[in-house]
């Protein structure tokens, strides 16, 4: 870098308004870019956190979601007897045969709007098998009673979910006895009750899935092979973590594609803003460029200098965009997960990596927008510029 | 061998249908250590000649050799490096970068050398001392008078110790006193430091200080030795 940076910095400060406007355009693009990717990242993270790699999820063969699966009580007892299943402190196998249904619930802000919420009927073991699940208020539902525990992300979004209140679904009243957290995972968007209570009111004597803790997580392949080849049942065995990551992919990818598409279109506008500003800068500073070239600065140095100037403006805009985007970190939103058709609430995740990506994106916009003006600067005809 | 050798140079400007032949077979030598004043009516081609010597413009045909190099046979990169080493140029106006201080402006040519920061500082101080602006080192161009600005430009033209100093009406915008200062300075640079100087001027006083006066008349040269010195 031969032409001193101070020349660019002071020149930029000489035209604060046009610089600020250009930077602002880039800032908006970066803010939207980070915002949309924070949404995608939050959604993905919620599902990634849901599954544990120590657990396996068993579905009926060919079922691609819990909703389309069905397993008999007999299958449940075969699985519970498998040597691959870990045993709890009480000596019982860590297996949770579960009922999984979607129930339509009106939303709290607009009761005409209905969202499908997951109602999961679990065995008492589920609270141990899912080690990230923990009751944060109240007490666990008692066996044999119409009691439910509500995921904490649901509570503020749907009415009648407070402890002591009664929620009505499937033709019955259910007493809310606790709220639970699950490390920000998708479980926090579910309502849990006892499987034996949910079975009769929903789909009869079938479970939708069976989740169990592996005695040796490293032996997943072996467990999968032995269970899937067991002639007494027809099941698919998934590692729980993989299953939920898989679920995040369809919508996760779409969100990312949308983020790039929308910000890509916006970026074109911002880049043209930079092009405009830099052309104006080159035009008004032609005599200065003529002087630099006369002093013996290489045209390439002039090009680099103006590119750098554009990149500096863009980086400032990028930094502002990061600041605009930061406050959305942690804000909870919800969407329908297309892989399960259920409502899932999650929080925006603005990560350091995302901020860095936003900054790099800004600089790329600056360099793109600065290129043609910088090339014009490098080609300024000295004689005309000085006249 | 002369420092500057101009041989059979043609220079034609084509603007729309209008064709302006500035030089038709101009030849000229400028000796090492000379102080040449270039005079002539407006439009006679004085600036064009200076631009050709500095490699800022190309002749339509003919050769310009400066310090042994064929100026117009060089690539853009070679030309830039050559100019940084051999040429100090002062324009009539708009010489200084307005956002840089006098010091930073004068330092610019040194950024193209391998000198250390301290060595550069030393050279800048000396150059600004020569033009008697020691006390304006950290002033911006807009805080300087026209004469002071031109002196900063001259300091910048000499700071890298070029082979040849070219000045295109450096005193054109200055009052009599300021232009006298600048001319005295150039004379000192020539006599004390042995710098080769070519100055374009309309000012008869300026021409008096030069050792050689060249008159350009419609692209042709009329040479005359100066009276005083
Ligand atoms: N870029 C150009 N395009 C067209 N014509 C030009 C160009 N540059 C110079 N000329 C013409 O060439 C001739 C010589 O111009 P030049 O600038 O060298 O004159 P000069 O002797 O320096 O005049 P002045 O004393 O007014 O500065 C003029 O007729 C001018 O109009
Ligand atoms: Mg002229």
Residue of A296, A384, A385 to mutate for B, most B C-beta atoms under 10 A: A296
Question: Closest ligand 1 atom to the C-alpha of B48?
Answer: 18
Nearest CA to ligand 1 atom 7: B13
Whether residue B198 contacts residue B39, with contact meaning beta carbons closer than 8 Å, is answered with no
Q: Does B229 score more than 50 pLDDT? A: no
Phi, psi of A96 (to 5 degrees): -125, 100
Candidate from A10, A297, A383 with C-beta closest to B57? A383
Q: How far apart are CA A181 and CA A200, in angstroms?
A: 27
Q: How far apart are CA A18 and CA A315, in angstroms?
A: 15
Check CB contact under 8 Å for A295 and B156: yes
Place of tokens 């908006």: A28
Helix axes A299-325, A352-378, angle to 10 degrees: 150
- Chain mean pLDDT for chain B: 89
pLDDT tens sequence across A169-227: 988 999 999 999 998 899 999 999 999 999 999 888 899 999 999 988 888 999 999 99
**Cβ contacts from A onto B, under 8 A:** 72
For ligand 2, the distance from its centroid to the CA atom of residue A233, given in whole angstroms, is 98
Nearest CA to ligand 1 atom 13: B43
pLDDT tens sequence across B125-172: 999 988 888 899 999 999 998 888 989 999 999 999 899 999 998 887
Q: What are the angstrom distances between the C-alpha of A73 and each of A67, A199, B131? A: 17, 11, 101
Classify residue A66 by burial, with Cβ atoms within 10 Å: 0-12, 13-18, 19+. Answer: buried
pTM of the model: 0.82
Give the three-class secondary structure for B13. Answer: strand
ipTM: 0.91
Place of tokens 């919420």: A117
Per-residue pLDDT band at A108 (split at 50, 70, 90) = confident
Q: Give A62-67's long-range contacts (Cβ < 8 A, gap of 24+).
A: A62/A236, A63/A236, A65/A247, A65/A339, A65/A340, A66/A98, A66/A100, A66/A208, A66/A209, A66/A340, A67/A100, A67/A102, A67/A208, A67/A340, A67/A341
Count CB neighbours of B114 within 10 A: 6
B87-90 and A209-213 as β-strands: parallel, antiparallel, unpaired? unpaired
Closest CA to A139 of A121, A163, A117, A122: A163
Percentage above 70 pLDDT, chain A: 100
Check CB contact under 8 Å for B112 and A386: no
Provide the greatest CA pair distance for chain A. Answer: 95
**Looking at chain B, which residue has its C-alpha nearest residue A1?**
B111
B223/chain A closest Cα distance in angstroms: 26
pLDDT tens sequence across A351-361: 999 999 999 99
Indicate the length of chain A as a whole number: 387
- Chain mean pLDDT for chain A: 91
Count CB neighbours of B142 within 10 A: 9
């Amino acid at each position: 870098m031969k032409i001193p940076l101070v020349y660019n910095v002071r020149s930029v400060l000489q035209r604060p308004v046009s610089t600020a406007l250009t930077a602002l355009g880039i800032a908006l693009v970066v803010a939207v870019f980070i915002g949309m990717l924070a949404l995608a990242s939050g959604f993905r993270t919620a599902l990634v956190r849901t599954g544990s790699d120590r657990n396996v999820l068993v579905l009926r063969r060919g079922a691609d979601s819990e909703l389309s699966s069905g397993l008999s009580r007999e299958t449940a007892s075969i699985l519970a007897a498998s040597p691959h299943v870990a045993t709890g402190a009480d000596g019982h196998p860590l297996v949770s045969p579960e009922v999984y249904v979607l129930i339509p619930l009106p939303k709290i802000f607009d009761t005409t709007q209905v969202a499908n919420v997951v109602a999961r009927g679990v065995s008492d073991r589920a609270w141990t098998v899912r080690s990230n699940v923990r009751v944060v208020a109240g007490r666990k539902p008692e066996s044999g009673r119409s009691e439910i525990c509500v995921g904490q992300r649901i509570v503020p979004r749907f009415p009648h979910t407070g402890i002591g209140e009664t929620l009505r679904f499937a033709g019955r009243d259910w007493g809310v006895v606790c709220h639970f957290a699950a490390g920000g995972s998708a479980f926090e968007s579910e309502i849990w009750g006892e499987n034996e209570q949910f079975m009769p009111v929903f789909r009869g004597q079938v479970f939708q899935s069976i989740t169990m803790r592996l005695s040796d997580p490293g032996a997943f392949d072996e467990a999968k092979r032995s269970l899937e080849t067991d002639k007494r049942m027809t099941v698919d065995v998934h590692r729980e973590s993989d299953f939920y990551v898989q679920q995040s992919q369809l919508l996760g990818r779409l969100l990312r594609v949308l983020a790039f598409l929308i910000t890509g279109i916006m970026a074109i506008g911002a880049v043209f803003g930079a092009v405009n500003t830099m052309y104006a800068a080159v035009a008004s500073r032609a005599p200065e460029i003529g002087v630099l070239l006369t002093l013996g600065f290489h045209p390439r140095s002039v090009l680099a200098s103006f590119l750098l100037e554009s990149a500096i403006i863009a980086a400032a805009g990028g930094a502002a965009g990061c600041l605009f985007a930061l406050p959305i970190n942690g804000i909870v939103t919800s969407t329908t997960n297309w892989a399960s058709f259920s409502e899932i609430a999650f929080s925006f995740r603005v990560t350091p990596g995302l901020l860095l990506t936003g900054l790099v994106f800004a600089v790329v916009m600056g360099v793109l927008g600065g290129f043609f003006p910088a090339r014009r600067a490098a080609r300024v005809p000295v004689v005309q510029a000085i006249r | 061998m002369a420092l500057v050798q101009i041989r059979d140079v043609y220079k034609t400007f084509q603007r729309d249908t209008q064709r302006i032949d500035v030089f038709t077979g101009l030849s000229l030598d400028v000796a090492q250590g000379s102080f040449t004043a270039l005079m002539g009516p407006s439009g006679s081609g004085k600036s064009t000649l200076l631009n050709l010597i500095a490699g800022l413009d190309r002749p339509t045909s003919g050769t310009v050799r400066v310090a042994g190099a064929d100026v117009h046979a060089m690539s853009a990169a070679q030309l830039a490096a050559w100019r940084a080493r051999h040429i100090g140029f002062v324009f009539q106006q708009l010489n200084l970068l307005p956002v840089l201080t006098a010091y930073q402006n004068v330092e610019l040519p040194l950024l193209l050398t391998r000198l250390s920061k301290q060595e550069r500082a030393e050279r800048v101080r000396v150059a600004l001392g020569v033009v008697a602006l020691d006390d304006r080192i950290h002033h911006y161009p807009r805080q300087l008078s026209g004469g002071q600005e031109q002196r900063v430009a001259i300091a910048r033209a000499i700071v890298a110790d070029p082979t040849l100093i070219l000045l295109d009406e450096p005193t054109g915008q200055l009052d009599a006193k300021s232009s006298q200062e600048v001319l005295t300075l150039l004379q000192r640079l020539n006599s004390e430091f042995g710098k080769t100087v070519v100055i374009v001027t309309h000012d008869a006083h300026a021409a008096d200080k030069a050792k050689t006066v060249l008159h350009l008349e419609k692209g042709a040269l009329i040479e005359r030795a100066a009276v005083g010195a």
